[in-house]
Amino acid sequence: MFNFVVNEDKYYLRFDGEPKKKWEFKLDLNTEGGLNLSNQLKNKKEVEKEFDIYQNEFCIDYSLLYKQSSLGFVETAALNIVACNPPEVCFVYKNNDAPNAPFDNCQKIGQVIDKEEFTEEKLGTLPFNAGEEEGVYTINLVLAYENIGKPDTAEINKKIILIKIFGLSILIILLITKFIVK
């Protein structure tokens, strides 16, 4: 009868080394890639991947897109999360300086929320690994999902009003009974 909790989905990109870092992001569930990533994270809770680091973004080989009709050009803007075909997911941390350099054959699937922490300067403090190719760096990051229960204030207010009405009704009945019995 009294369920005062609403579930809220939270998504994170996390670095578990030192210094520990965690960046919250949101997914657009109206896109194929956003919905697919959300479903995969809800099922697995965490996915650890080796991200390649480029001039503007962290990218992983990760297949989320299956319909060509939903793909196009996506602006290379800081904080965007982009899914592409061939299979790749990129977290953009810096605007691309080159004009007209969008992602091609992709769709924007989300946005990093922690804009103060997801910057080139802050990310530069992370310990990167040398990649297999010269000039390429990698880092192990975790894509994570968390379901947080938070109080539903509208539902709580309704229940409080009902309890008050019920309590006042009983009080009125008791007062009426007391006057009748005298």
Q: Where are the domains of the chain?
A: 7-151, 152-182
Q: Is the pLDDT of residue 49 over 90?
A: yes
Dump pLDDT digits (tens) for 64-107.
887 776 788 887 889 999 999 888 999 999 887 665 567 888 89
Question: Is 7-151 CATH 3.40.50.10260?
Answer: no
Tokens of 181: 């019995």
Lowest mean pLDDT among 67-81, 110-124, 146-160: 146-160
Instruction: Over range 124-148, report the average pLDDT.
Output: 85
C-alpha dist (Å) from residue 129 to 23, 50, 66, 71, 113: 20, 10, 31, 32, 26
Nearest partner of 123 among 103, 94, 154, 100, judged by Cα: 94
Q: What is the pLDDT of residue 150?
A: 60
Q: What is the pLDDT of residue 56?
A: 86
Q: What is the pLDDT of residue 48?
A: 94
Q: Is the pLDDT of residue 1 over 50?
A: no
Query: Using 50, 70 and 90 to split pLDDT, how confident is the model at 128?
Result: confident
Quickly count: other Cβ atoms within 10 Å of residue 84's Cβ.
Answer: 21
Q: What is the β-pairing status of strands 46-53 and 137-151? A: antiparallel
Instruction: Over range 139-153, report the average pLDDT.
Output: 82
Instruction: Over range 129-138, report the average pLDDT.
Output: 79
Lowest mean pLDDT among 32-41, 46-55, 130-139: 130-139
pLDDT top residue among 30 and 158: 30
Looking at 20-79, which runs of residues are DSSP E strands? 21-27, 46-53, 57-60, 72-74
Nearest partner of 33 among 9, 66, 74, 73, judged by Cα: 66
Instruction: Over range 119-132, report the average pLDDT.
Output: 84
pTM: 0.74
